[in-house]
Amino acid sequence: MEKLDALLAHLYTLHTRTIELSLGRMERLLAALGAPETKLPPVIHVAGTNGKGSTIAFLRAILEAAGKSVHVYTSPHLVRFHERIRLGAKGGGRLVDDAELLAALSTAKKLNGDNPITFFEFTTATAFKLFSEHPADYTLLEVGLGGRYDATNVVAEPRACVITPISIDHPEFLGKTIDRIAFEKAGIVKAGVPVITGPQQEAALEVIERECALKTACATVAGRDYFSREEHGRLLFEDAKGLLDLPLPRLPGRHQQENAATAVAVLRSVEPGLEAKAFEQGLAFADWPARLQNLAKGKVPALAPEGSEIWLDGGHNADAGRVLAQAMADFEDKMQRPLVVVCGALTTKDTSAFLAAFKGLAQEVLAVPLKAEYEAKPARAIAEEANGIGIRAAACESVESALRFLAVREWRVPPRILITGSLYLAGEVLALNGTPPE
């Protein structure tokens, strides 16, 4: 739809001249839209550094397995903007369609006029308007950046607040220390609203618990109030309500077991009547693109060496590098293959810290650029960072050229290829592969 594409292209250019440490712009537009943030189905608000989207994917899958309808707001999108707004409906819901998205965006644009606003504020307000007009049982709301002054933080009385693991990311906006970043993330805590946290560093947990105490919000903490572990190919979850014996999550990696456990803890708090069957089905069927996604079909596997194992993940900070390297090591324990990391990154990311976890594990790094519209690191700069930490690296012109470069080699065992470093790169790869999220 040409009109929608043109409008989105215009919205991408929105910015403000000054940083405004308030929600004033958001509140002004929402008032003009009829205060849709007050008319949402019960909200579960999710902040954190890593694991927000995956935790939401588990929440959605469990709730839908229980017969609930669920609105979902996440960011960024991978291939199409529509991925950010999923409208709940019995049987699984759907992404917003062209016509209703164009109508909602056009209305918001008219009401906002020439007032300064950011792209994320504008599109968040539009999502709230759409959610308020469609009935559902829950709204799952992902924080875009930080928490305290994030556009999503206008919801006054969520059903629950969730904080996934906090680590260093976006230091230019959130601060350079864990406690400072945790302060911003904990800004979503509301008076009397239950707070459920994933595993946290001690410095982050201290800040979260202090914020909860100030606002008389009860905190449920991983490793203290609920526990999870893998045993005999199952995920065992335990809290004050008892033990659940669950299947391992469909999403691979130990970190996804932690995200799944956080989702279970959230729903044991807000939906105590959920049957075990809903948890079992939810973990078994939850899906979240570009989070250790196995690319077995499409154009991308056809470019790689025959028999290769290809994984796609949007991880881009040091903690993400750590959990991805652990997942690759676990895969290696089960089946030995040479590991090649194909990496692209934004200029704002500490790629050395991200790649450091792969030292001694990855055979080499092939660095690639992102599309010209992103503020991306040159492939040569990424290769230099990888070489600097002791991983052999080379620069390639694109993901396609990197895969072809690997394909012309002779392999005793076909390689395991991890394409990673940026969600923007992940989106490019899914578009190339012909398998956009649905």
CB 64 within 8 A of CB 92: yes
User: Can you give the residue range of the structural domain that contains 310?
Assistant: 293-433
Looking up residue 401, the CATH number of its domain turns out to be 3.90.190.20
Residue in the block written with tokens 């960011």: 75
Residue in the block written with tokens 């969520």: 158
Same domain, 242 and 379: no
Same domain, 302 and 327: yes
For the chain, residues with pLDDT lower than 50 are: none
Domain annotation covers residue 387: yes
Question: Residue 98: which residues within 8 A CB-CB, separation 6 or more?
Answer: 1, 4, 82
Same domain, 257 and 307: no
Same domain, 182 and 65: yes
Query: Residue 388, Cβ neighbours under 10 Å: how many?
Result: 11
Rounded to the nearest 5°, which phi and psi values hold at 291?
-120, 95
The pLDDT of residue 12 is 86
User: Side chain identity at 287, as an amino acid letter?
Assistant: D
Tokens of 2: 């040409």
Give which of 305, 316, 320, 225 is closest to 266, Cα–Cα.
Answer: 225
DSSP H/E element including 234: strand 234-239
List Cα–Cα distances, 131 to 52, 71, 73, in angstroms. Answer: 20, 7, 9
The pLDDT of residue 267 is 98
Same domain, 307 and 178: no
3-state secondary structure of 367: strand
Domain annotation covers residue 93: yes
Rounded to the nearest 5°, which phi and psi values hold at 279?
-65, -40
Rounded to the nearest 5°, which phi and psi values hold at 347?
-65, -25
Beta strand residue intervals within 241-291, DSSP E? 242-247
Same domain, 47 and 132: yes
Task: Report the number of distinct structural domains present in the chain.
Answer: 2
Rounded to the nearest 5°, which phi and psi values hold at 23?
-105, 25
Distance CA 149, CA 127 (A): 18
Strands 94-95 and 85-87: antiparallel
Give which of 41, 59, 44 is closest to 134, Cα–Cα.
Answer: 41
Distance CA 31, CA 12 (A): 23
The pLDDT of residue 171 is 72
Same domain, 181 and 40: yes
Same domain, 310 and 375: yes
Same domain, 111 and 85: yes
Question: pTM of the prediction?
Answer: 0.95
Tokens of 384: 């230099």
Domain annotation covers residue 313: yes
Same domain, 397 and 424: yes
Q: Of 285, 317, 341, at which residue does a domain stop?
A: 285
The strand order across the sheet containing 234-239 reads 226-231, 234-239, 242-247
The pLDDT of residue 198 is 98
Q: Of 265, 285, 305, at which residue does a domain stop?
A: 285
Same domain, 346 and 274: no
Looking up residue 213, the CATH number of its domain turns out to be 3.40.1190.10
CB 314 within 8 A of CB 420: yes
Tokens of 306: 């025959």
Burial of 215 (0-12, 13-18, 19+ CB in 10 A): middle
Q: Of 250, 285, 320, at which residue does a domain stop?
A: 285
Domain annotation covers residue 438: no
The pLDDT of residue 1 is 67
The pLDDT of residue 263 is 98
Same domain, 415 and 268: no
The pLDDT of residue 20 is 63
Distance CA 137, CA 139 (A): 7
CB 56 within 8 A of CB 140: yes
